[in-house]
Amino acid sequence: MDETSDVSNSKFYVYILQSLKDKGLYIGYTTNLKNRLIQHADSKVPSTKLRTPFKLIHYEYFVNSKDAKSREEFLKSGYGRKQFKEFLKNTLKI
């Protein structure tokens, strides 16, 4: 198997949620975006359960788990957070 990709049918997502309660942001990684959003909505994610409801404001799809994890880490960094706040500035004004 090529080291640059995972199993051909694998999907990896990095996503950003905005809490409608406190307007705070949450950055996450998952292999099943639909199920993960349901978990957030049902308060089954410990780090976000007190901040529901959420709105999905951005997601990115990857075919490689290492690339997705790296992107998640970058977005959680100071520069990454600044960058996505800039490209989502109109969304974040709402």
| Number of structural domains found in the chain | 1
pTM over 0.85: yes
Domain that holds residue 17: 12-93
Token representation of residue 45: 């994610």
In a domain, 2, yes or no: no
CA pair distance 58, 55, nearest whole angstrom: 9
In a domain, 75, yes or no: yes
Q: Which residue has the tokens 């950003």?
A: 16
Q: Which residue has the tokens 């909505």?
A: 41
Between 9 and 72, whose confidence is greater?
Answer: 72
In a domain, 29, yes or no: yes
Residue 5 clears pLDDT 70, i.e. is over it: no
Banded model confidence at residue 3, pLDDT cuts 50, 70, 90: very low
Dihedral class, residue 8 (left if φ above 0, else alpha if ψ from -120 to 50, else beta): alpha
Residue 43 clears pLDDT 50, i.e. is over it: yes
CATH number of domain containing 21: 3.40.1440.10
Q: What integer pLDDT is reported at residue 9 of this predicted model?
A: 73
In a domain, 24, yes or no: yes
